[in-house]
Amino acid sequence: MNNATKTVIVSGGSRGLGLAIVRDLLAQNYRVVTCSRKRSVEVGNLEAGHANQPHRFLWQQCEMGDEKAEKLFFENVLTFAGSDGLYALVNNAAIAGEGILATFPTVDAERILNINLVSSLRMSRLALRRMLAQNRPARVINISSIVGLRGYTGLAAYAASKSGLDGMTRALAREVGRRAITVNSVAPGYLTTDLSASLGPDQHRQIVNRTPLGRLGDVADVVPAVRFLLSEDAGFITGLTLVVDGGISC
C-alpha cells in the first residue's frame, strides 16, 4: 500500500501539535481525517486547499469525551476511508489543567481523565476492531507527555491521564502485535503551544535551564517521531514510549 491509500485519524487536529501532524501527513500523501470541538481558521484553510481533492482530507466536529459523538465521528471516518480501510489512529486530543490536587476541583480532574485517557481508550477500541478485521499492518500512536513519566507539581490529573496512555500502549502492543498492528507512544517535553502558554517567566526560565538543549521544544521537533512510527520502517517497533524532550527527563 502506498500512502495515498492509507487513511489516518488524528484526534484534536485543529491546532498545536495535532494540526502540525495533520499538515505533515497530508504532505506525506496520506488520507487524513481529524476532529476537534471547533473548526479553526487553519482547518478551514486546509479544507479550502483540498476542495478539489475531497478524498484527501476531512474535518469533523466532535466533542471528545462524549461517547456518542465519538461513535458518530468514527462512522464518518469509515465512510470516508471506504474500501481502503483504516491504516492508523493518532490519539492526540487532550486538555490540561493546573492546580494542587488537594484543592483541584473533582469535576475538572474527571474531565481531564475523560478526554485525555478514556476517550483515547474508546477511540482505540473502535479503530482496533476495524484494523483486526482488515488483517493487515496498522498503527496506533498515543501522544503522551514527559509529565506522565516524570511528574510535575500541580499536574497530577494531567500526569495520571498521560501515564495511563503509556500503560495502554504497552498492553495493547501485546494484545494486537501478532496481527502486525503496532502501538506506540510519543512523549513530548514542554512545547511552545497553547498548553504551555500559562507558564510564567520564572517557570519558563527554569524549564529551559533544566533542558540540556537549552530551549522549549516546538511541534516541528515532535512531528518526525510520529512520521517515523507511522512508516513501514517502524514495523518492528511496538510498545515503546519515544521521548522527545530535549533531554530534560534524562
Known catalytic residues? 158
Query: Angle 46-49-55 (CA atoms, 0-180°, nearest 5)?
Result: 85
The single-letter code of the amino acid at 57 is F
Give me 128's grid cell.
482496533
Per-position DSSP letters for 186-236, written without gaps between them: EEE-SBSSGGGTT--HHHHHHHHHHSTTSS-B-HHHHHHHHHHHHSGGGTT
Are 14 and 43 contacting, i.e. CB atoms less than 8 angstroms apart? yes
Distance separating alpha carbons of residues 46 and 57, to the nearest angstrom: 8
Are 242 and 186 contacting, i.e. CB atoms less than 8 angstroms apart? yes
Query: String of b and e for 18-30 (b: at least 16 CB within 10 Å)?
Result: bbbbbbbbbeeeb
> Could you say which DSSP state residue 34 is in?
E
Of 73, 61, 79, give the one whose Cα is nearest residue 7: 79
Distance separating alpha carbons of residues 123 and 117, to the nearest angstrom: 10
Are 204 and 216 contacting, i.e. CB atoms less than 8 angstroms apart? yes
